[in-house]
Every structure is written in C-alpha cells, then in structure tokens.
Amino acid sequence: MLNSLFLLSIKKVYDKKFQLKKVSKYIHLIAAAKDVNFIFAEDSYFTPNATADFIPPSQLNYTWIPMKASEDFKFNETKKNWFAFKGNVKIPKEYSPHRDILRLTFDVAAHYNVRRWDDEFPAGPEGQIWLNGKHVGAIDEFHNSHIITEGGLVEIRLYTGRCSSSHVLNKFGITISNRWAEKLYYYLKVTEKLLKDIPENNTQRDQIIDILNEVLPMIDIREITWPIVLPIVRYHDRDLSNFFGSLPNALDKLMKLLKTLPQHTEDDPFINVIGYSHLDSVWEWPFNISHYKFRNTVSSMIHLFENPPTDEIPKWRFLATSPLHYKWLEKDDPILFEKLMEYAKKDRIEVDGLTFVEMDTNLPSGEALVRQVLYGVKYFEGKLGFKQSTLFLPDCFGFSPSIPQILKNAGIENFVTSKISWNEYNSFPHHTFIWKGIDGSQIYSHFITTPSSWSYQAFTYTGLCNMREIVGTYSCYNEKFINGVALHTAGNGDGGGGLTEEMLYNMEVLNKLPKIEGVPHLKFNKLSEIFEKIKKYQEKLPLWDGELYLEYHRGTATTQELVKKQNKMLEQTLHNVEWLLSIYKSLFWQNNVTFYKEAIEELWEETMMLQFHDSLPGTCINEANNDIVMKGQNTLRKLNKLQKNLTEKLTEKMKVSTEENTKILFNTLPFVRKLNGITVPSGGWTFTTTEFPYIDYKVDMYEILESSSEYKKNEFNFSFIEPKNDIKVSSTDNETFSVLTDELNVTFSKINGSILQIRSLKTKRPFLRGPSNMFEFYEDRSIHWPAWDIQLFHKEMPLKAPKFLNYSIENNSIQLSYIICDEPECNIENENCHGYKNTRYLKRKSKTEAKNETKIEKVSEINGTDSKNVTELNESITENNTENKVNDEKINKNITEIIEDNEDKNNKEIKEKSDENNKEIKEKSDENNKEIKEKSDKDDKDNDKKNETEHSGESCEDKPDEENDSFKVTIINQTIYFREKGVIDFVTFVDWHEHDKLLKILYQTNIRSKSAKYGTQFGHHERPTHGNLPQDMAMFEVNGKWADYSDSTGGIYITSDSKYGNDIHEGDLRMSLLKAPLQTDMWADYGRREFTYRMMFHDKEENIEFQRQNLDLVTDFVIANYEQPNTTLSLDDLPMEAQFVNITGNVILDTLKLSEDEKGIVVRVFEANGGWTECSLSFPLLNRKNWKIVPCNLLEKEVKYEFNVDESKSYLSFSFEIETFKILSFKLERVEE
C-alpha cells in the first residue's frame, strides 16, 4: 500500500516548458533503482590459455586458476587471446518470477591500447555463455547479460580481440531487476523519445503528455537519491519498498489511460519490422572470426525467443540470409544448428536471402552470379526445405543491370537493398519500384528507408528499432500509397550481434501506444508477404531501367589488385575445369564423374565466399586480405589438380602419336583462338610440338605481424606465355618511331614513351588527338573511406607524372620504363639516386621453357614461411605420374581431405599465441633482421641480387632509410605486344611504393560521342561521357568489365585482367590502375604488381567482339603433355585435333557444365551484340540420336522455349532465336538410341 501522506501530496501543475524534462528526470531515477540486487558467482575460476572452440570450456583439459568474482578481474595486456571462465550461480530465495527478472551477467569493460579501427579493429571482447552446458547467448558490445530462470554452472569462452587491449571484468553473477520498474522505465523512455520527435502542434502529443502528468506523481521517488549515494543510515526506506510498491498502480494507470485514446486500425499506416543482424563474412576480421560471430548471434536470438523480458513482446522474426553461415554453424556447433532449424520450422527464423553469400554484384562474372543463386537455392530449398523469395543485399556498392534477368531466369522476382541511399550527390527517386534489366526483365525492388544515425538521407540496415528510426522509416518512404511495406531491419550488425531486449521493449511499447499522426504501428511480415502486397500495386509502381549506380565507393573497382586478379583466375579455372569435364562426360558417358561434380561445387563455394561484398571489392583489413589470398591460392591449387587429371583422362583417349614433346592445347572458349601462331578449334583442342616461352614474375602481399611496424612480405609466383607476334619498326627521326601491324600504324615518342598516334591502315583514320598511353599520378584523399572511395576532387590534385626512363625494341614487343621518385633530380644513372638502386626490381625477362608436365598459366606458388604448407598440400594431391592416370576414388579422398584440413585450419587460426610462440617469433625476427643487415652491407652494384626485404615470408621492421631504398620509389615497366584485329596488350609491372595516391592511364582520343559502352554480366550498357545533369556528373568513375568509346566510324576498346575502374569523358579515356589507401589495409597494393590492359582500335562497333576479347584475355589455354601415346586403337579414340562446339550469330556460349542431376550437360548462352539474332549451336563430336535437348532456367528446371533440331546432320545441331542480351540454358540429356 502507498503511504497516505504521499498520496495527499499529488497536485497537478501545468509547466509546459519543463514537461518532457520532468519525464526525463523520472526516467533517470527509475533507471537507477530498477536493478534490485547483484549476486556474485561462487567457486569462480579462469584460464588465460583457453583456445578457440565451439564447445563449453569444461569439456577441454584446461588448467584453471581460482578468482574472486566479487573483485574486478584485470585481463592485463592481451592481443588475440582466448580466456575461459566458470563459476556457479544460485537463485536467491527471495526471487519471485512474478515480480523479478534474473539476468546472468558477465560485464566486461573494454579498454583498447591503440586506435581501434582498420588494421587494429578489435572484433572483441566477444564470447559465448553456457549455463549447465546449454547455450545462453553472446557476450559482445551489445549483450552483457541474458535472462535466466535457473542457477547452476556458468561457463564463458571469450576472445579478447585482435588489437592490444587491457579489459576489466566488472561483474560476474546474477542481476535481479524489478519487472514493473523495468517495464515502466521502457514505456516512459520510448514515449518521451517519441514526443520529442513529433511536431509540437500534434494533438495527440498533448494528450499523451497529459496522461504522463497524471501518472508520474503516482511513482514514489522519495528515497531515490541518484546520482548521489548516501550512507545507509540516511535512508528511511533502504529497500525502496515504497518506490517498488507504487509501480504496479502507476503502470496499470498508464495502460488504462493510453487505451482511452483512439487506437490503430488495420487501415492505419504501419511498417514491417524484421529482425536481422548484418554479418560481414570477412571485413575488419578474417573469416574464422565470423564463424564465432554467427554462432554467438544465433544463440542470443534464440535465447530472446525463449526468454522475452515480458509476455507482451510481439512475435518477431529473425532473418538469416547466407547459406555459407548456416553451413559454418552446421559443422561448428551441430546442437545450436538443430535449434536454429527448430525455430525456422516454427516460423521465427526467416530462411531467405537467396544467394550463397551477400556478394558484390559488379565484379564477379555472370556465371559466378548464377552460381550464387543456384547453390544458394540448392542449400536453402534443396537441403533445408525453405522456399526462396527475395535477393537480400542491403550493403553492396551498386547493382549490376544484369541482376533482374538473372533473378527472373531463376524464378525470383524480389530484391531488397538500402545502399543506394548513400549516394553522394543525388537522392534516388524511388523506394518501391519495378527494376528493368538489360534484357528487359523486370523485378520488384524495395529499399529499406530507416534513417541512419549519422544522416537522415542515408538509410541503414542495422536498425535499433528506436523512435527516431521507426518514425523515420515511414516518413522517408516515398511510395506511401502502398501502406504497410516500408521495411525496418532491426538488429545490430556488420559484425553481427542482432537484437537486444531494449529493441523488444521498443516493439511492445510502440504497438501499445494509441494512434498518433505520423507514427506507424508495427507488423512483422516476412519478405515474401511484403512483396505479395507490393505486387498488388504493380500498375502504379514507377519503373527504373538500367543499373543501380552507387554514387559512392568508386574505388572498389581498383583497390587490392591481387584479390581481383585472383578472383578472375578462380572463375576462369573453374570455367576450364567444367568445360573439360563436360567434354569428358559427354564423350565417355559410362564413366562416373560424381566426384568431379561434388569437388567442383565445393570449389565454387570457396570461390563464392571470396566474392563477398567486402572481400572482392578490396575493403578488408590486412589480416583479412592475406586470409583471402591464401584461401584463394589453396582453391586454385585444388582446381589445377582437377584440371590436370581431366586433361590426362582426355589425352589418354587420343590417337597414337610418336612425336616427342607433343602437347595438347585445349581451348575452352566457343570461338577459334590462336596461341603463338597455333590455331586451336572452337571449344576443342589441337596438338603441337612447339615449346612455349614463359615469363615468370612475382607479386607481393605484405602481412602485418605483431605490430604495425612489423611485417613480412609474402611472394606469389606467376607466369604467362610470351606472345610471339613479330613486329615491324621504323624510325625516321630522333624523336619518334613507328610500329606497323596488319591493321595499325602506331607512332611512339622516343622522348617520353607516349603513343603519339594510332592510325587504321584500312580507313586511314587517326584515333588520337594528343599524346596517349600516358601515366597520370594523383593525390587520392578520400573524405571518409579511402579503400572504398575516389573523390571527384582528385582531378584537382594531379602530381608530377611518372618520369620516362627508356625504351627498348624487341622482336615481338616494345618495352617502356618509368619511375616515380621524390628526389628533385632523379637520375637512374646516378648511383646515389634511389631510382638507380631500384630499377633492377622489375627485371622480369627470366624465361622458362615449357617443362615436361601439364603447364597451367598464372598458377601461383607461395614461398617462404608458407612453403611447407604448400608442399604438403601439393604432395597430398599429387597424382602417380609413372602411371599417367589418377584413380577417381583417390582424387575424391585427397580433395576431400584437403577441404577438411583447410576448414580445421580456419578454426585454429585465432588460437592464443603463447609466450613461447611469441618468443620464437621474436627470435626469428631478430635472426632475419641480422641477416638483412649483413646483406645490406654487400656491394649494392650487384644489380642481379634481390633487395634484402624481398625474401618471402621474411619478418621485417622499420629500418633506416639506407636500408629501405626500395621503399623510396615506384618503378613501372611496361611491355607492349601487338596482336591481330587491331589489338594491343599492355603488360604492366609496377613496384608500387606509394600511399594515398592514384595511378591512371590516359588516352586523348579524337572521338566525339555522348556515351560509352561498358561490359557487364551477359551484355553491356551505356553511360554518359558528359556532365550535363548532376546524375551524369556523379558518374565520373564507373566500373566495367570492358569499355568502348566509339563514333560512327570506329573507336577504342579497353579491358583488363584485374582493373574495372573507367573514366571516359569529353574525349579522354582513362582507366584506374592502382590505388594506395592506408585504410582499411595500410599495405594495400604495396610492392610488386602485375596487370594487363588490352586495347582494340577498331573501324566498326562489334559488341560480340568486345566480349570475345575480354574472355580471350582472362581465359588461359590449358596445355597438357602427351607423354604416353595411346597404342591401343579403339572406336572411342579421340582425334588429335577436334572442334567440340560451333556457334553462329551474335551469341556467346558462356558455360558448359555437368547438370545438377548428372543426366547431361548444361549449355548456357547469351546474346552479346544487343539485338535479335538467330543462332545455330552444333556439337560435331556428339551423335544426335544420343541426346535430348531440354530448355531450362538457371536452376535447371525445364521451361518452354522453341528450338529446331537439324535432323539432316548426324551430329547434334540445333537452332533458335534469341533476343537482346537474353540468357538461355539448354540441358543436353543423354538418351539411348
């Protein structure tokens, strides 16, 4: 009962100025008193030597040290350490479930000894709590306590973080909170925030304030002295019994008064809230940490399902979108995975999102995007049984115009994002609209409209479900004529975390409040339900035709050159392996190839993981980037072993050859290609005895060790076959020389190395208006995100261009050398100049003849400290060369073991580093540094020796300037090869020693065109070359797999093996070559780099040729040795030269693969020119009577599509019509005659 004197003191006073401040005062007082007691854990222990694992610590044999939970526990300085704790908690006798809430509390006060961002991002302290062996939830920056209803053994496994830290454990035990105080606190807090956000002239606002004024005096706050703590003797009511006793009546009064106001109806505005925790699979942490982040997030969300703070919390759902994360959890923590599936079946976990990971959409190949969808659906629908409805990509850096047709071709019509709101210059006009792709396919698109905390214009996908965000989600939404589809994704993210109890309270309070103008109520529909409502309004929806260009993060087309190069190598090696497997299976149908199919799918999954939207764009920290490259190299090795095995299986079926050193050249592209004068049939093979000269080169990946001043350099070895097209050179004066090809006359300057003019021999047309192939050098100072961004104002900050050093003319190429040097009088003939000392680093003309083994171009090897692992890996999958054949079962076993070994390695990568290991590292570092010093004393004139810091895997520290000459300058060495059809390849080696700089190549053309074409997946699209409108100006740097700048009589085409950033404006064509951001990776692109850009100077536009040139550049020939001639003739023998496929019309055959059901092979084609055409597709080696043609979609489900089989031919040949950029897939099913 309330004290009668307290009741008599109630009197209404109207004080408009301080109404909300009074409410705020009450909120603070209740917050100070709502936690009644804290009971420390008993029998507490810890270990500083825990390991990274997914099971409770008690299940491992740790040595435990006693501790007092009642005292602060200091971790002391830690870095990448795992701690474990355990103790017993008891439920107090006075606990009343009706009155009290018990929370298991483990409160760590985080303290970081460094700037906690970028390469020092902590990703900790984070961990997991178990109670009596069962998951409770996460310990992270969003959760330090979880509701419990029983006591027992508490166990915690905690990762202290990646950076140097000195955390303190403040509380370990049970917090007892008063249920009514907590509920009233959140009702007042939520209501107060809402009243601050809505206009003062809102009628309902005054009514709610009146209600609060009537309720607040009912709360007995007389004994609450916050923030002052008095001696106990000064409190009249030490237990605050009067305060707690006043709360039920006050709360009851509040609820009754709120119900007297008008309530929401079904027709009132509402928004949808979906629980979601954005988890970057890799970003400010490597992949292995994300395993724990996902596990921790899932356990916290399930605990919230099972232990809501009140019984009136709405039935919310949690969306988890990535099959990769589910697969991780399935292996890491099977018990929690089963729990996750239990709640998915209860419709509390929403299993939707479609793709294998939330990937980048601009840089992957078309087939890579198809596999993201195919394997995502295969896992979510095929294995887990959950229908997919929506592509959910909230955080990607722009969206390819090919997405609509890829989705539509897979039976998906819905797409959600929020990122386009981050535009720098122009607000996107729509939030719910129909998006039309390059082929005319249309899908329904919806933008999350929750305003972020830093900008009301930029929307966020990591909503806090607070009043500002809920009201903003509705008020920012443009298409309000569709009620109830505005979407708020509630949950902490980027590193996971998910929802909190406060967010759940927010949901409850919002739906208990009366109808307020401008304030929506909440519903909890699934993505599929939201889009069902959108579709009812499809005739009213605006339409957007073309890409969703993000006016931001333009640097992601350039940053981390090796990551991008590796991705292209992975994609094309997968393409080659599947092409070879399709040939093998179609020609020798009786052979079982299930192993190959399963291995290829696993390797696709590894590749798709590396296409995550922070991985491939190059926006990760140093540790993560090294993780990406090492994982990619492992995948490449396994792919190359599969490829070698398949070529052996094919070559052993070929007819007798007695010539020595016979090689088989496989061409896995659907058009005839040449390799150094040798013609290889379309999609097939030929033989040769020619020896191919390989050019070897190295690229670097710097790795941070224990501190930012300690690093090592990982070297990667690559090679390519040097082109052998001889050139004709003439020189008529001291300033120029010319190269004459069958199509072009190219004039070079001897003074600065530039190309002065390129003229077509056929039409006499000049292509240039000024010196071109000129390197441009800019200061690159992004406002916010250096790894992500290129600002328009970089054009205001040009720096001195690289200095031309010299040129040389070879039989088959032109070589040019440049230097970027800070010394005012840089002179490579001056021995004291850093440039003189370092020109030797790019001597890459070491050539190796083709060896007596299968040679796969651009296959890297890791040297130095990592060579042991590589050797073991190679040994474990090396075939028996003496027999020249590999048993399928053996390959299956070996590849599977490799995959499992790599996964086990991932789980161990972040285990604590003991003092002994640190000592070993230090000793090794000291040894290496001593060796470096000794070598540095040697005569520097020996230009053939490598610089001291170039030894792979060698630990380094900052050294005096004289020991770091290679870090002073940037060397550029370019070799130019001239090919057929007006094609020129610029193979460029750069020893890049810059920071905050941008390197571009410039061509000053004489082309007048208002637009340029840019290659994208399965086609191309156009963008403006002017800045007429703000939207045009914002496209000052755009991505493309290739670009073409043409007028009616010809033009200039450019593509690259790893560069995607283009700048074509006002007659100038530029491509961005290298960035040097210090954030997020301070070593981004540092060291030796290699890339090729290809240009074609043409007399007419041939869009299909543009596609072919890009494919030809990035797709290697597969070269196999014919070591053991087939001496047993049979009907199955293959010819030594054969065409496997022939295709006509403006159509590219993009993919050959084994069908998912293994009943045939899938042929995927697309129209490449940009218009209707008729296509004929033939397979000269396949008997027509043995094959049935089944049109299918990207999921390989049968669809209707007209085609005609040519029955006049004995081999398989059929024709069909195809429209602009359309993707068609045909399954060729094997049948018996």
Q: Which CATH architecture has domain 557-649?
A: Up-down Bundle (1.20)
> Looking at residue 838, what is its pLDDT?
54
Q: Which CATH architecture has domain 1141-1230?
A: Sandwich (2.60)
- Is it the case that residue 510 has pLDDT exceeding 60? yes
> Looking at residue 940, what is its pLDDT?
38
The angle formed by the CA atoms of residues 388, 391 and 395, to the nearest 5 degrees, is 145
545: nearest Cα among 421, 364, 360, 404: 404
Instruction: Convert the pLDDT of each residue in 351-384 to its tens digit.
Output: 999 999 999 999 999 999 999 999 999 999 999 9
> Looking at residue 928, what is its pLDDT?
45
Helix axis angle, 203-215 to 19-33, nearest 10°: 50
CA 235 to chain centre: 58
What confidence tier does 1102 reach under pLDDT thresholds 50, 70, 90?
confident
> Looking at residue 455, what is its pLDDT?
72
Identify the DSSP state of 445. Answer: E
Phi, psi values for residue 824, rounded to 5°: -55, -40
Q: How far apart are CA 469 and CA 473, in angstroms?
A: 6
Rg (CA), the chain: 33
- The residue with tokens 């040729």 is 1105
Class of residue 658 by CB neighbours under 10 A (exposed 0-12, middle 13-18, buried 19+) = exposed
Share of the chain above pLDDT 90, in %: 81
Q: How far apart are CA 554 and CA 546, in angstroms?
A: 18
CB 1212 within 8 A of CB 1206: no
CA 320, 323, 324, 327 dihedral sign is: positive
- Is it the case that residue 1230 has pLDDT exceeding 90? yes
The angle formed by the CA atoms of residues 503, 506 and 507, to the nearest 5 degrees, is 95
What confidence tier does 456 reach under pLDDT thresholds 50, 70, 90?
low
Q: How far apart are CA 374 and CA 407, in angstroms?
A: 10
Q: How far apart are CA 948 and CA 945, in angstroms?
A: 9
> Looking at residue 968, what is its pLDDT?
73
689: nearest Cα among 172, 1147, 1122, 1022: 1122
Q: How far apart are CA 418 and CA 394, in angstroms?
A: 5
> Looking at residue 965, what is its pLDDT?
54
Structure tokens at 547: 């890409």
More confident residue, 1100 or 522: 522
Instruction: Convert the pLDDT of each residue in 121-140 to its tens digit.
Output: 999 999 999 999 999 999 99
> Looking at residue 339, what is its pLDDT?
98
Structure tokens at 882: 């003496």
More confident residue, 956 or 407: 407
Whole-Å CA distances, 327 to 322, 379, 616: 9, 9, 21
696-823+968-1101 classified as CATH 2.70.98.30? yes
> Looking at residue 46, what is its pLDDT?
99
What confidence tier does 294 reach under pLDDT thresholds 50, 70, 90?
very high
Phi, psi values for residue 883, rounded to 5°: -90, -10
What confidence tier does 656 reach under pLDDT thresholds 50, 70, 90?
low
Instruction: Convert the pLDDT of each residue in 59-106 to its tens digit.
Output: 999 999 999 999 999 999 999 999 999 999 999 999 999 999 999 999
Structure tokens at 149: 């209803």
Q: Which of 775-784, 1128-1137, 1145-1154 has the lowest mean pLDDT?
A: 1128-1137
Strands 1061-1065 vs 1038-1039: parallel, antiparallel or unpaired: antiparallel
Q: What is the mean pLDDT of the chain?
A: 89
Structure tokens at 865: 């400290």
- Taking the whole predicted model, whether its pTM rises above 0.85 is answered as yes
Identify the DSSP state of 246. Answer: H
Q: How far apart are CA 229 and CA 221, in angstroms?
A: 15
3-state secondary structure labels for all residues of 1134-1166: ECCCECCCEECCCEEEEEEEECCCCCEEEEEEE
3-state secondary structure of 1094: strand
What confidence tier does 850 reach under pLDDT thresholds 50, 70, 90?
very low
Q: How far apart are CA 1203 and CA 168, in angstroms?
A: 71
> Looking at residue 1065, what is its pLDDT?
98
Structure tokens at 400: 């390819």
Q: How far apart are CA 593 and CA 585, in angstroms?
A: 7
Question: Any residues with CB less than 8 A from the CB of 733 and at least 6 apart, and which?
Answer: none
> Looking at residue 2, what is its pLDDT?
45
So where are the chain's domains? Answer: 17-226, 557-649, 696-823+968-1101, 1141-1230
What confidence tier does 682 reach under pLDDT thresholds 50, 70, 90?
very high
Instruction: Convert the pLDDT of each residue in 536-552 to its tens digit.
Output: 999 999 999 999 999 99
Whole-Å CA distances, 300 to 409, 456, 520, 540, 648: 37, 30, 28, 41, 52
972-981 mean pLDDT: 97
- Is it the case that residue 182 has pLDDT exceeding 90? yes
Question: Any residues with CB less than 8 A from the CB of 702 and at least 6 apart, and which?
Answer: 622, 711, 712, 713, 714, 1083, 1086, 1087
Identify the DSSP state of 692. Answer: P
Share of the chain above pLDDT 70, in %: 86
Q: How far apart are CA 1053 and CA 1060, in angstroms?
A: 13
282-302 mean pLDDT: 99
522-530 mean pLDDT: 98
242-261 mean pLDDT: 97
Q: How far apart are CA 327 and CA 384, in angstroms?
A: 11
